[in-house]
Structure 1
Amino acid sequence: MSLPKTFALRTADGKTIQIPTVGYGTWASGENSWAKDAVLEAVKAGYRHLDCAWMYGVDESIGEAIKESGVPREEIFVTSKFWPHFGHPDNVELCLDKILKNMQLDYIDLFLAHWPCVWKPASREALEKATSSHDATPTTRGLLETDEGKPAIDWEHCTTNIAAQKGQKGSFVPTWEALQACVTKGKAKAVGVSNFSITDLEEILPHENGIPVSCNQIEVHPWLPQTPLVEFGKKHGIITTCYSPFAGQKADGATLLKDTKVLELAKKNSMDVGQLLGSWAVQRGTIPLGKSATPSRIKSNLDVKKLSEEDMQTLDSMTLAGEEGRTVDFNEAWDVPLFKG
């Protein structure tokens, strides 16, 4: 049986647009022909949803692929995100302007805050000149660093939840309102967030004012189903898009793609593993953002199908001990480059 090809995504003034239920992720594509070729292959295979971000450094390649695909712009759903050092309310639109210029687009369909924290830029001028190319440095990205080589945090504009963890006072509301202004100006059709917890979402929900929180992009897969966060989103009309839908590698080298249960279910359903995991995600009412450079896998990942309740329950039961409901922890993320997702 088939699964829905699109979900309704809330936009301004009570309206909705359709977002394809399977997206193609562009993180770690690299600034070379691989990114362009992979996106062209994905569009050729039938993908109409591209998940992007300024920090990925491949906007130019993606824009060229869209143009060369021959598919009308209005048929391709484009998501992008601003990196935390563009998070001051005065700089959010600047990041979107850079994305639009690099991708040669007049608008994007969905614009997200990449993280619930805000960092300080070196200066406005540095942001205007900033590049996210694969060989960029913190300086050429326009980022202000501390003496320890870490991003300088703008606590005032972090979410209240994150600021409080460090004994600081903050509010993401002004940044959220700057995101909403991008819709008002016609540069984005909808806006949302990424890596937000329930507490972070609760801070901005009272401030929708006709332009809703349309999406929360988080890490989701059977090892980390994020059920409470996904259900909270559904309750408030927030679509959950899922990065790393095939999970990564555990400390012991184990991977979800080679898990015995997953392999058995894939064989039972005459699917490959990526297709199975994508099907699980869509059937839960979420949107997987898988990525691959292999044409056959690019195509099969898009071909999601309805699974039996028994198979869904088997995948649901694979949650790793202690992982149910876990969200990306800011203190944990602080110690690694925030490139994921």
Structure 2
Amino acid sequence: MKNHAALTSSTTLNNGVNMPWLGLGVWESKEGGEVENAVLSAIEQGYRHIDTAAIYGNEAGVGKAIKDSGIAREELFITTKLWNARQGYESTLEAFEESRKKLGVDYVDLYLIHWPVAGKYLETWRAFEKLYKDGLVRAVGVSNFQPRHLQDVMDHYEVKPAVNQVEFHPYLTQRDLYTFCRQQGIQLEAWSPLMRGGDMLGHPLLQHLAGKYSKTPAQIVLRWDLDQEVVTIPKSVRAARILENAQVFDFHLSEEEIAQITALNQDRRSFEYDPDNVTFGLA
């Protein structure tokens, strides 16, 4: 039960909505049985925060698992994202309705612009404001936005992004962005927090801390996120790993250890995608 209670612990977004600190990411989880089983397993283990996106192609599976779980809708926090090719005012409204129907929900808890497409994201944000004011979305935010993109949105619109979901891990700590978001009251959220299970987890510092706390290197990294007040959504389709990722609420890293992990930064992205030059996914 301890883990269940911890998994409902949440941050309060700048509009007063509560968002669980830890959730399940479903990127690369195949539509159908794979994503359905992953989401059901997570919910059974106490997760209440599920993160998907239109481009993942698995919103319907997420929706089926939500329905099959028997958990009341208001107890869940569901995020989805608008893909690049659908940006623009009318196309955003249409794309949202498609996502909502696939998910089988009356509203979405958090809707994100997936990438800052130049010349499009401001018009897109106008549609996001409408969805928010119409009550179809409880909070609106962005993904992969840099400070200049965030400032641009804030300069033009009344509703401030509630969340900025970005690649964030010990090899890509994005300190300027982290500081900017904290100063502006925008909740930072980490995608790919474990760097897709790459060589980072073998780093001697993470191995040492794992031994000290009787945790895995992955759990050390997720605790590093949480101790910096960064929401995190590790992905897995394996029940045992989904459970392991949630067992990070019974310890804290020291300020010195957080700083040591942060110092591992290499400005190293898992993907070639550049937030300042979004030319992909437009067709």
Provide the TM-score with structure 1 as the length reference.
0.75
Map Cα deviations across residues 159-216 of structure 1 (whole Å, 9 max, x no partner). xxxxxxxxxxx3632221111100111110110111111111110112342x321011
Q: RMSD of aligned C-alpha atoms? A: 2.2
Moved over 6 A (4+): none
Match of 2:181 among 213, 233, 238: 233
Instruction: Find the aligned partners of 1:283 and 1:4 in 2 and give their Cα distance.
Output: 16
Match of 1:258 among 181, 202, 213: 202
Instruction: Find the aligned partners of 2:36 and 2:8 in 1 and give their Cα distance.
Output: 28
Instruction: Find the aligned partners of 1:201 and 1:242 in 2 and give their Cα distance.
Output: 17
Instruction: Find the aligned partners of 1:308 and 1:299 in 2 and give their Cα distance.
Output: 24
Sort the Cα spacing of 1:328 and 1:231 in 2 relative to 1 into closer, same or farther, 3 A: farther
Instruction: Find the aligned partners of 1:267 and 1:332 in 2 and give their Cα distance.
Output: 41
Letter of the 2:10 partner, please give it: T
Q: Is the 8 A contact 2:84 2:114 kept in 1?
A: yes
1:82 CA displacement: 0.6
Q: Is the 8 A contact 1:113 1:193 kept in 2?
A: yes
Residue 247 (1) aligns with residue 192 (2): no
1:148 equivalent in structure 2? none
Instruction: Find the aligned partners of 1:4 and 1:40 in 2 and give their Cα distance.
Output: 16
Instruction: Find the aligned partners of 2:7 and 2:104 in 1 and give their Cα distance.
Output: 33
2:19 equivalent in structure 1? 19
Q: Is the 8 A contact 1:54 1:83 kept in 2?
A: yes
1:274 CA displacement: 2.0
Structure 2: state its 5+ residue gaps: 1-5
Q: Is the 8 A contact 1:3 1:282 kept in 2?
A: no
Match of 1:179 among 109, 128, 139: 128
Instruction: Find the aligned partners of 1:66 and 1:194 in 2 and give their Cα distance.
Output: 24
Structure whose residues are more often helix by fraction: 2
Letter of the 2:208 partner, please give it: E
1:310 equivalent in structure 2? 256
1:5 equivalent in structure 2? 9
1:89 equivalent in structure 2? 89
Provide the TM-score with structure 2 as the length reference.
0.90
1:54 CA displacement: 0.6
2:237 equivalent in structure 1? 293
Larger Rg: 1
Instruction: Find the aligned partners of 2:276 and 2:228 in 1 and give their Cα distance.
Output: 29
Instruction: Find the aligned partners of 2:217 and 2:28 in 1 and give their Cα distance.
Output: 21
Task: Give the fraction of aligned pairs with identical amino acids, expressed as a percent.
Answer: 32
Sort the Cα spacing of 1:323 and 1:34 in 2 relative to 1 into closer, same or farther, 3 A: closer
Instruction: Find the aligned partners of 2:126 and 2:277 in 1 and give their Cα distance.
Output: 27
